[in-house]
Copies of this chain bind each other. A is one copy, B any other.
């Protein structure tokens, strides 16, 4: 039994039919390496054995009416892999358009809370010979980006015939009193978390005030321009993706003396600028991205989500891509510097100090609160480092990994990047009723990448 942290539970309370809080990963597989050759039945049998060793895939939410705290994770004593594994196929010609459509549909469906919160969709009939796609979907309460990378690593091996791990021994399920007792203890914790959150906030406010004259602050929220990405969204989801070479990203980084993260951010900024220009909707002020930063190493707080949030100006108002690169690098250095002075557990402590009843009451009145004139931010932007190894999922070589984050908090665009074995997969999630043509953004990113690569090559050879 493992109690959800306030931050983990927040992703449950914030979920609605039009705001499913899934995180997804699309794995493109070359099945030619699969021992015995690919068949869905063989894949299913291998998965059934492999998931025995993945605790996150075996545990489900448990709650009790006596419980005043957040729900707990407990092993599902009636676990069946076929409740989680689905098989579908793409219509002809089985290209990226059809694949994106299938993935958008999967991302749109909330998970069933009566089961462990994950699904795996095997997608067949891809155009490429021997190619099969796997869309893996987890609830955000069960894993953040780093957690998801960990799950993928647990599911995969570094060889086609990696040794299958030992299954977990499942403990007896908790009874209603155990669920409630832990909840009462967690309530006793709350005043301490509240004090810690309050102290952290005051300290952060003081330090931020001291920084303002120096100009070394990150972008403030609720100062973002109005864009199509802040249009209201429905239950539908659309996704798009691209997959670029990490070597080429590094060549740009080296040419201008930046970080990989800065280059990824700059590529997104360029793509968004091109997209908005083409729609004649480029705002005068820069777009602002909300960026989660992992605090796994700086936080001693429990929970599966270990993140704090930064706000980045993307410099979409700057015309020259190279000048924008420098602006982004400067901004991210300032934001990180500012963030280093903030309590890393601030978000965790605030969410931990609230009880489920208070959270639900706040969420109920929230729709009646007038919207501020400017959006908090324009998009969610996340970059998760993945394994630098060739991985095999149940014997099949992973040729590409694309992450998809959820859209939420009034922002209809999520861009998430994740590296794997020399490639960077970039996934775009939106709602077609808000942003009708998200695949254009992915194409603009690829075009902008080619241009920046050429510019960097010219700089390096000068």
Chain A contact residues, CB within 8 Å of chain B: 17-18, 40, 82-83, 86-92, 101-102, 105, 109, 112-115, 124-125, 234-236, 432-433
Knowing A92-B124, A125-B125 touch, does A236 contact B87 (C-beta < 8 A)?
no
- A113 contacts which chain B residues (CB < 8 A)? 17
Q: Give the top 9 A-B pairs by smallest Cβ distance, nearest first.
A: A89-B91, A89-B89, A112-B235, A91-B124, A87-B91, A114-B234, A89-B90, A89-B125, A88-B88
Contact B83 A236 (CB under 8 A): yes
Q: List 29 A-B contacts (CB under 8 A).
A: A17-B113, A18-B114, A40-B91, A82-B432, A83-B234, A83-B236, A83-B433, A86-B105, A88-B88, A88-B89, A88-B91, A88-B102, A89-B89, A89-B90, A89-B91, A89-B92, A89-B125, A91-B124, A91-B125, A92-B124, A92-B125, A109-B109, A112-B234, A112-B235, A112-B236, A114-B234, A114-B235, A115-B234, A125-B125
**Bound: A235/B119 CA distance, A:** 13
Identical copies of this chain, number: 2
Q: CA of A106 to CA of B9 in the docked complex: distance in angstroms?
A: 29
A370 CB to closest chain B CB (Å) equals: 17
Interface centre among A88, A89, A92, A236 (most CB of B within 10 A): A89
Q: Chain B residues with Cβ under 8 A from A124's Cβ? A: 91-92
Q: In the complex, A310→B125 CA distance in Å? A: 47
> Complex formed: what's the CA distance from A322 to B460 in Å?
90
Residues of chain B within 8 A (CB-CB) of A432 are: 82
* B-side contacts of A105, CB under 8 Å: 86
Cβ contacts under 8 Å, A236 to chain B: 83, 112
Cα(A93)–Cα(B433), bound, Å: 35
Which residues does chain B contribute within 8 Å of A115, judged by CB atoms? 234
Residues of chain B with a CB closer than 8 A to A114's CB: 18, 234-235
Residues of B within 8 A of A86 (CB): 105
* Chain B residues near A83 (CB-CB < 8 A): 234, 236, 433
Least Cβ distance of A275 to chain B in Å?
21
Q: Supply 4 further A-B pairs (C-beta < 8 A) apart from A83-B236, A91-B124, A115-B234.
A: A88-B102, A91-B125, A114-B234, A114-B235
For the complex formed, measure the closest distance between the CB of A81 and the CB atoms of chain B, giving whole angstroms: 13
Q: In whole Å, how far is A39's beta carbon from the nearest beta carbon of chain B?
A: 10
Q: Could you tell me the distance in whole angstroms from the C-beta of A21 to the nearest C-beta in chain B?
A: 15
Instruction: Identify the closest chain B residue to A235 (Cβ).
Output: B112
Q: How far is it, in angstroms, between the C-alpha of A105 and the C-alpha of B234 when the chains are bound?
A: 21
Q: Are B87 and A101 in contact (CB under 8 A)?
A: yes
A125: chain B residues within 8 A (beta carbon): 89, 91-92, 125
A437 to chain B, nearest CB (A): 13
Q: How far is the CA of A17 from the CA of B101 in the complex (A)?
A: 24
| Chain B neighbourhood of A101, CB < 8 A | 87
